[in-house]
């Protein structure tokens, strides 16, 4: 199953991502990185970042329908 985790670059969200990956799920993380960190996201997860200049792995915001289509 593919799971969307909002806030997945923060403390709680990043731990949730690791747990989901351990159970075999595919994980997409959507985070603005205002308090989270890109390095906190497991490399196996797809990171989509909203706000500011786009980082290496994507750009988007939950309010943007195009982002959710990715």
Residues 34-50: tens digit of each pLDDT: 888 999 999 999 998 87
Residue ranges of the chain whose pLDDT lies below 70: 51-70
pLDDT at 56: 47
Buried b (16+ CB within 10 A) or exposed e, 34-44: eebeeebbeee
Q: Is the pTM of this model over 0.85?
A: no
**Is 38 within 8 Å of 47 (Cβ atoms)?**
yes
What are 66's strand-pairing partners? none
CA angle 47, 53, 57 (to 5 degrees): 25
């Amino acid at each position: 199953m593919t799971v969307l985790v909002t806030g997945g670059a923060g403390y709680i969200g990043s731990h949730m991502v690791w747990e989901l990956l351990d159970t075999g799920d595919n994980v997409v993380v959507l985070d603005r990185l205002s308090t989270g960190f890109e390095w906190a996201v497991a490399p196996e997860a797809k990171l989509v970042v909203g706000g500011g200049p786009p980082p290496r792995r994507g750009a988007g915001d939950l309010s943007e329908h195009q982002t959710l289509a990715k």
